[in-house]
Amino acid sequence: MTQLTLKVEGMSCGHCVNSVEGALKQLGASAKVDLGNGSVTVDFDAARLSVDAIKTAIEDQGYDVV
């Protein structure tokens, strides 16, 4: 498994956590949002999922990967 931590702007509450973590779970990744520092840590299989797909999934939920 590969671990990636992204800075993400706009996540502010538990609903945002659920949106982002849920979207990444749909892709087969395991994600943990840290609201305090505005980051998402993602564990994923780099043979099956690209970093771009992860970023797109987060952005599709309405947040900015910075």
The residues of the shown chain that bind its own copies, judged by CB under 8 A, are 10, 12-16, 19, 62
- Taking the least distance from each CB to its own copies, the nearer of 28 and 62 is 62
- Taking the least distance from each CB to its own copies, the nearer of 15 and 52 is 15
- Taking the least distance from each CB to its own copies, the nearer of 35 and 53 is 35
Residue in 64, 62, 27 with CA at minimum distance from that of residue 43? 27
CA atoms of 18 and 2, how far apart (whole Å): 22
Contacts of 48 (CB under 8 A, 6+ apart): 28
CB of 21 to its own copies, least distance (A): 13
